[in-house]
């Protein structure tokens, strides 16, 4: 039944043909079960393990790597290579890919747990009326039309329409569904609101919510997937995981590389066609195969094989650092995604606030002389912990609050007119409540006021254990004044009273809505001397003014407290006793903002990140909170910045688009609105982070680019999220954003290092082919440089520290390429130098080395015709291993210097010295040790076609390698200054790397 909330109870019962006194018959139960289905959330089919594994290889760059590995292996076998030379490259590539696939499978398996956790919120049993008898049945057997009785502590088993109230009131905690900070009062009246949201349906009990007060009967109107909880499940199923910005960029990068690699293979092979017949190859076909091997080796050199591994390593390092900041990452890519987040949609209750109602203001009458003098006190402490102090209106702390008559009576009334429990949980290390949040707030206030008559109060209370301290003062008053009778809260009276006795004294304490309590008072207690004086019209007007100020401007939830001395012979309370009361004071309460949130908001604004507060609470309460945390500091007028869900839905399409760009607060929302908000922002090319803790947040958490759940939140929210804040602290997100930005910067630095080095290898081979000189590097030497000496420094770049200005820059644009035009120009300059230096080392040995032949340049470029003419030197000189060893060593050393360049994209080595990343320094040392080993250990030198170098040759290697640092320092200088920006703008139109396409609308 879709509109049960708008129908009367009689209409709903008639619709299902059920007698409220007898319930459904067995025949009707069978019919309704066939018609409406079971009251269960069905399990979803999981993807098979092998499908998950294969999915990890559905990536263009990964496919290119696999093909390159297979081709390399086949060519090695055709050429007769065996052992290490045949298996080195393919085995390293496939090992890297297998490790990344394993990480991907584990991540996706964890993500599927969200739907399982959702079923935990279904009730196990229900008290059901059938065939005229009540019985306890499994909740899964409920059908629409069943009459169910619920009471305090019951979990609602299905969506139900209230039909009968069995107590004065019924209150339900539906925070997991709507995010409301307070429990909701339910009634029997039909709802007339148009476009009613969950909060408006006050006659509906929603599946999975919990009754916190009262007892009632209701008729089931929806079961299983038709319930509000079922709607959340369907929304989660329809939500496809968003591809992270980094993944999109790497996919684009892979597509670009695929084209480049194909061009390299063809070009290198074509340029060398003239050398196929060289005698050294032993025939045209063998020459063709030889140069095809070089082309494939170059293609593999152009692919940064370590990219998936280094990205994974960077993300893993980020998760480890974030874990220390209380941010638990469930999905590795989400760490980077935070770095480009442009909008954070933050849940209010429990995220920006403590989700712990606490008393913040107390208002009492001080004295009456010519005019009434009202005293206001502020109360510190924002949690359920009985830790806090009371300050007067001038900001001075009260040393002994309980010595003031009104505060003393407020403590007594708060402790006695109360049904809640406050206790300390040693396992969690925190204070917990049982009962209504407002009543617990009064208990905590009583503890903060303390007890009278002790000079050491309240400091002596701090000597107690936390278990004793939780309710020490409350227990004191409960022991001093024994409860005799209680008049429960009712909707018509809007108050609660309790009769207490002590020796020859009986006293009634009352608490309730201020308008209800004040109207029943004839006297008021004075705080200066403890006397009770008549409550005059002037005093009454002043109290009402303060009440409206508390409830309006400060949006506090207000309760009034009063007392009355009763005759000794009154055994029980009646409603007639609740008159001629003596007013004690007003207590204003709120769910306070976290202390760190204001600075976190400021940091977000500095970093160019917009925060939208999303809550199920009412508009005025939320606006008050936003003012306190600084979310509205930059707005003169709230018009166009604060909307309820209904207001937003009624806007025309164009105004909705404008509203989305300006919105800072979104109130009275339900789950579908949160998901809608995320989708709408994503359509505007925003990268959206959504925080939340309730079941209601799960679909939006899953849909967002990054979902951030609270550690104290529901299991459903955690399972649907990418990250969990262990401390529930919004401020932790700011640290996570900085970490995400640093990870992206390190990933860019890795790509820059690998591509510039790989460009150098390509330039080296290509220039050698164009000049007509012998091969500078053998294929096995290229593979050694590419897979071994590049790998360690590239991975160590992931340990780079954050730049000091990482949170001062605006978020990068969604359509910004990983490599911009200016950066690619820098790659080309550095890569060209690497390649030319490598070729220069090769030529130097032939032309100038004391141990070389000192040939004329023309003899070197005509080396392929050496056997066809007379020469003054043996042709075997071109098979000497010295020149290729010098070239290979220059390539290794220049890449080590280039690795130091990548400590920062734009900061000089004078600002960020090498020892700022000791991992990089260590990796360079290990790489050089490995290179020296293959030069000077005989079996290895034969395998890699190298030979030991003399000190003079090492000196030339250093001379040729070091200038790469000077060149990059010059390029960094231009990057830091306007000329680099202008060049970037000029090159942007000719950006060599693909740019991200607009997000699908």
Asked if 488 is an active-site residue, the reply is no
The helix (run of H) or strand (run of E) holding residue 674 is helix 671-683
How many Å apart are CA 40 and CA 226, to the nearest integer? Answer: 10
Contacts of 986 (CB under 8 A, 6+ apart): 821
How many Å apart are CA 838 and CA 547, to the nearest integer? Answer: 82
The two beta strands, 184-186 and 210-213, are: unpaired
Marked catalytic residue, from 347, 617, 693, 803:
347
- Pick from 237, 335, 311, 243: which is nearest to 723 by CA? 335
Which residues lie across from 374 on neighbouring strands? 365
Q: Is-contact 477 418, C-beta < 8 A?
A: no
How many Å apart are CA 391 and CA 397, to the nearest integer? Answer: 4
Q: Is-contact 158 207, C-beta < 8 A?
A: yes
Contacts of 361 (CB under 8 A, 6+ apart): 376, 377, 378, 379, 550, 554, 556, 586, 587, 588
- Pick from 435, 287, 448: which is nearest to 360 by CA? 448
- Compute CA distances 377 → 107, 231, 395, 457, 509, whole Å: 52, 46, 9, 18, 21
How many Å apart are CA 720 and CA 113, to the nearest integer? Answer: 8
- Pick from 159, 174, 167: which is nearest to 205 by CA? 159
**Among positive and negative, which fits the CA dihedral 652, 654, 655, 656?**
positive
Buried/exposed 274-288: b ≥16 CB within 10 Å, e otherwise? ebbebebbeeeeebb
How many Å apart are CA 839 and CA 405, to the nearest integer? Answer: 93
- Pick from 199, 202, 201, 198: which is nearest to 185 by CA? 202
DSSP state for residue 191 in the 8-state scheme: P
Which residues lie across from 665 on neighbouring strands? 613, 642
Q: Is-contact 702 241, C-beta < 8 A?
A: yes
Q: Is-contact 210 729, C-beta < 8 A?
A: no
How many Å apart are CA 577 and CA 566, to the nearest integer? Answer: 9
- Compute CA distances 955 → 833, 849, 896, whole Å: 18, 12, 16
- Pick from 931, 749, 791, 964: which is nearest to 301 by CA? 791
How many Å apart are CA 843 and CA 768, to the nearest integer? Answer: 10
Q: Cβ atoms within 10 A of the Cβ of 476, count?
A: 16
- Return the half-sphere exposure (C-beta side, CA atoms, 13 A cut-off) of residue 155: 14
Sequence-ordered alpha helix ranges (H) in 387-513: 405-416, 437-449, 466-469, 472-480
Return the SS3 of 138: strand
Which residues lie across from 692 on neighbouring strands? 709
Contacts of 748 (CB under 8 A, 6+ apart): 818, 819, 823, 905
Which residues lie across from 612 on neighbouring strands? 345
Peptide bond into 458 cis (omega under 30): yes
Active site residues: 347
């Amino acid at each position: 039944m879709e509109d049960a909330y708008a129908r009367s109870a009689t209409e709903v019962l008639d619709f299902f043909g059920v007698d409220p006194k007898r319930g459904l018959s067995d025949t009707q139960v069978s019919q309704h079960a066939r018609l409406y289905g079971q009251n269960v959330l069905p399990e979803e089919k999981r993807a098979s393990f092998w499908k998950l594994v294969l999915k990890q290889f559905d990536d263009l760059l990964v496919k290119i790597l696999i093909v390159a590995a297979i081709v390399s292996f086949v060519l090695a076998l055709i050429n007769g290579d065996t052992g290490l030379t045949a298996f080195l490259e393919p085995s390293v590539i496939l090992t890297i890919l297998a490790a990344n696939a394993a990480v991907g499978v584990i991540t996706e398996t964890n993500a599927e747990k969200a739907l399982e956790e959702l079923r935990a919120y279904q009730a196990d049993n229900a008290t059901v009326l059938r065939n005229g008898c009540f019985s306890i049945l499994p909740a899964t057997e409920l059908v629409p039309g069943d009459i169910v009785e619920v009471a305090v502590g019951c979990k609602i088993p299905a969506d139900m329409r209230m039909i009968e109230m069995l107590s004065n009131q019924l209150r339900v905690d539906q925070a997991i569904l709507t995010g409301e900070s307070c429990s909701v009062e339910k009634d029997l009246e039909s709802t007339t609101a148009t476009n009613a949201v969950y909060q408006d349906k006050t006659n509906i009990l929603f599946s999975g919510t919990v009754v916190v007060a009262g007892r009632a009967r209701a008729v089931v109107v929806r079961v299983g997937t038709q319930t509000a909880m079922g709607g959340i499940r369907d929304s989660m199923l329809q939500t496809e995981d968003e591809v992270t910005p980094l993944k999109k960029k790497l996919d684009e990068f892979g597509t670009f590389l695929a084209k480049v690699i194909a061009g390299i293979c063809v070009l290198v092979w074509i340029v060398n066609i003239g050398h196929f017949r060289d005698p050294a190859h032993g025939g045209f076909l063998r020459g063709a195969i030889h140069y095809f091997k070089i082309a494939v080796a170059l293609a593999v050199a152009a692919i940064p094989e370590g990219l998936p591994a280094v990205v994974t390593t960077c993300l893993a390092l980020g998760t480890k650092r974030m874990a220390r900041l209380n941010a638990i990452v469930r999905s590795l890519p989400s760490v980077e995604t935070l770095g480009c987040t442009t909008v954070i949609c933050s849940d209010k209750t429990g995220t920006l606030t403590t989700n712990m109602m606490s008393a913040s203001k107390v208002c009492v009458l001080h004295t009456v002389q010519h005019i009434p003098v009202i005293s206001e006190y502020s109360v510190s402490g924002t949690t359920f912990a009985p830790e806090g102090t009371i300050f007067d209106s001038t900001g001075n702390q009260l040393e002994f609050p309980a010595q003031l008559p009104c505060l003393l009576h407020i403590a007594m009334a708060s402790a006695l007119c109360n049904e809640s429990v406050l206790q300390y949980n040693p396992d969690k290390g925190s204070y917990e409540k049982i009962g209504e949040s407002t009543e617990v707030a009064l208990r905590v206030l009583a503890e903060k006021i303390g007890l009278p008559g002790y000079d050491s109060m309240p400091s002596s209370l701090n000597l107690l254990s936390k278990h004793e301290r939780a309710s020490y003062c409350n227990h004191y008053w409960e022991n001093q004044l024994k409860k005799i009778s209680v008049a429960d809260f009712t909707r018509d009276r809007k108050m609660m009273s309790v009769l207490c006795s002590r020796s020859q004294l009986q006293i009634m304490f009352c608490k309730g809505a201020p308008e209800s309590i004040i109207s029943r008072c004839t006297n008021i207690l004075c705080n200066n001397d403890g006397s009770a004086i008549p409550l005059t019209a002037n005093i009454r007007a002043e109290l009402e003014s303060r009440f409206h100020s508390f409830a309006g401007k400060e949006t506090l939830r207000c309760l009034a407290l009063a007392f009355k001395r009763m005759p000794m012979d009154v055994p029980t309370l009646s409603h007639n006793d609740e008159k001629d009361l003596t007013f004690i004071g007003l207590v204003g309460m709120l769910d306070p903002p976290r202390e760190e949130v204001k600075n976190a908001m400021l940091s977000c604004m500095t970093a160019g990140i917009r925060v939208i507060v999303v809550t199920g609470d009412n508009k005025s309460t939320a606006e008050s909170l936003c003012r306190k945390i600084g979310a509205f500091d930059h707005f003169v007028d709230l018009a166009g910045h604060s909307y309820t869900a209904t207001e937003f839905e009624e806007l025309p399409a164009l105004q909705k688009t404008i509203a989305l760009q300006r919105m800072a607060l979104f109130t009275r929302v339900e789950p579908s609105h949160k998901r809608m908000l995320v989708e709408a922002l994503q359509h505007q090319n925003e990268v959206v982070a959504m925080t939340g803790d309730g079941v209601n947040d799960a679909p939006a958490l899953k849909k967002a680019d990054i979902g951030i759940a609270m550690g104290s939140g529901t299991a459903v929210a955690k399972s649907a999220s990418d990250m969990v804040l262990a401390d529930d602290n919004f401020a932790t997100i700011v640290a996570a954003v900085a970490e995400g930005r640093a990870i992206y910067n390190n990933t860019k630095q890795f790509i820059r290092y690998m591509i510039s080095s790989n460009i150098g290898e390509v330039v080296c081979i290509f220039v050698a082919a164009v000049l007509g000189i012998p091969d500078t590097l053998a294929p096995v030497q290229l593979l050694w440089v590419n897979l071994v000496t590049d790998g360690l420094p590239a991975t160590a770049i992931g340990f780079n520290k954050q730049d000091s200005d990482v949170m001062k820059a605006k978020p990068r644009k969604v359509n910004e390429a990983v490599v911009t035009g200016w950066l690619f120009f820098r790659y080309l300059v550095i890569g060209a130098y690497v390649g030319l230096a490598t070729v220069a080392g090769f030529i130097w040995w032939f032309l100038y080395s004391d141990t070389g032949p000192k040939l004329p340049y023309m003899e070197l470029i005509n080396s392929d015709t050496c056997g066809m003419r007379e020469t003054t030197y043996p042709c075997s000189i071109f098979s000497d291993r010295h020149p290729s060893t010098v070239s290979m060593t220059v390539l290794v050393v220049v890449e080590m210097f280039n690795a130091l360049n990548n400590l920062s994209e734009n900061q000089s080595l004078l600002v960020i010295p090498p020892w700022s990343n000791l991992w990089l320094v260590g990796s360079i040392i290990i790489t050089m040790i490995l290179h020296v080993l293959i030069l000077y250990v005989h079996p290895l030198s034969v395998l890699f076609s190298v030979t030991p170098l003399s000190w003079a040759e090492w000196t030339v290697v250093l001379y040729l390698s070091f200038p790469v640092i000077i060149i990059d320092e010059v390029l960094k200088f231009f990057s830091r200054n306007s000329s680099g920006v202008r060049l970037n703008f000029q090159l942007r139109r000719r950006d060599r790397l693909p740019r991200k396409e607009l997000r699908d609308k």
